[in-house]
Amino acid sequence: MIKKACGALAVAAMAAGLAACGGGDGGGEGRTLTFWSYQPLTPQGGQLLEKLRTDFEKANGVTVKLVQIPKDDYNTKLGTAVAGKSAPDAGYLDQPLVSRYAQDGTILQVPAGTIDEKEFYAGGLDTNRVDGKLYGLPLDITTVGLYYNKKLVPAPPKTWDELKQTAERVHAADPKVAGIVVPKGDGYGAWMWPGFVAGAGGTLVDEKAKKVAFDAPPAVEALQLWVDLLKSSPRSITDADKAFENGLAAMTISGPWDISTIKDQFPDLDFGVAPLPYKNEPASNIGGENAVVFSGTKNADLAWKWLKHLTAAENSVALAEAVGGYPANIKGAEIAAGRMGPEHAVFIEALESTRARPAVPEWIQINDEIIAPALEAALTGKATPQQALSDAGAKARTLLGWDG
């Protein structure tokens, strides 16, 4: 779900120089570490990743073999390698897959003392936490925010009530313009929806108690908000190509990847970005990539040292640029914010309130096949939000084998 988020950051990071973190004690003893990653988004991103590799090699007297795989093919190739007991020493792992790999023993738990957890955003670390234990490190993270047309929305709404009022005002002033592009009930919409649930003080599941919670009042209220917004934001308007960019919708919800696209393709659109409006507390969803160490490795100590190197403050800036998100290291994110535009600063500030997706192996299936259709059923009027989510909750309980 992560696309290109950072633009000129690569040049700035190269100019600033990358820290050769991870120590120079020569403890690698000539070993070779194999690390699988996504292909960098740009040639500049590839240069940054190469610099991180060579710095680590020189500091530790080792060889790091980088295997770069197109993102769309990565999970399939990794699954095949794991099944064939030919997994790399370490590699990227999409956030929702960590719990599955942890529970089947495919990846190792992070050794105590490897990192100082206070140096990372809690939401990013929590995407690696299963049953209270840490199984990986966040490489980069991202989230979504509220894009708004400054001509139609001079001051962005902060609360749900303000959001509805703003959308209603815009549509009443011009019935041909929608208040906001309401997300749809698909995998992407279901990925964004938890940010609204958390904004109402809710959660999706309680892993410890083994209870489904996305049919509880906060979740129902979040879906009801989307349904209510459709009154001033009809799909007959927002289904048009690039409705927000073409001035047909005053607001939309998206991630940082749209910043450069809008500026390049719609230079006359005066837009801003604000945090997601909330009901009870600021909150947002989370996406990004993690890095894990596979249980079959004979180089676990070196692998964790390499991951610590990648996630050190300055290095995390370069790594995030190569991948396309923001640093999960707090100091790294502060460095990135100082080098990027104000729109990016909004997203980086929102990282403090991101909430990890549930750490259950079946979550991708629940997101795409259970929650997404429920959202769409409510949004198309086929069921009330409560009916749609109650039905979805029952399906999830059956799939998970939970009573609650």
Query: By C-alpha distance, which of 3, 11, 22, 15 is closest to 312?
Result: 22
Beta-carbon contacts of 144 under 8 Å, excluding residues fewer than 6 positions away, are: 192, 195, 253, 254, 255, 276, 284, 285
Read off the DSSP letter of residue 306: H
Residue ranges with strand state E in 189-280: 205-206, 211-212, 249-254, 271-274
Domain boundaries, given as residue ranges, for the chain: 9-142+286-353, 145-285+359-400
C-alpha 327/C-alpha 247 separation (Å) is 32
Q: Is the pLDDT of residue 1 over 80?
A: no
CB 148 within 8 A of CB 250: yes
Over range 148-161, report the average pLDDT: 98
Residue-wise pLDDT tens digits, 246-280: 999 999 999 999 999 999 999 999 999 999 999 99
Q: What Cα–Cα distance (Å) separates residue 170 from each residue in 32, 157, 173, 175, 187?
A: 60, 13, 5, 8, 28
Mean pLDDT for the chain?
A: 92
Superfamily for the 9-142+286-353 domain: Periplasmic binding protein-like II (3.40.190.10)
344 pLDDT tier (thresholds 50, 70, 90): very high
Q: Which two tokens stand for residue 171?
A: 């549509």
> Which CATH fold topology does 145-285+359-400 show?
D-Maltodextrin-Binding Protein; domain 2 (3.40.190)
pLDDT for res 9: 41
In this structure, which amino acid lies at residue 77?
Answer: K
Q: Is the pLDDT of residue 219 over 70?
A: yes
Q: Which two tokens stand for residue 58?
A: 């020189």
Residue-wise pLDDT tens digits, 13-54: 333 344 334 333 445 578 999 999 998 878 888 899 999 999
The residue to which tokens 């991180």 are assigned? 52
pLDDT for res 13: 39
C-alpha 136/C-alpha 100 separation (Å) is 13
Fold match flag (9-142+286-353 vs 145-285+359-400): yes
Q: Is the pLDDT of residue 213 over 90?
A: yes
Residue with the bigger pLDDT between 111 and 21: it is 111
Over range 85-99, report the average pLDDT: 96
322 pLDDT tier (thresholds 50, 70, 90): confident
Residue with the bigger pLDDT between 371 and 7: it is 371
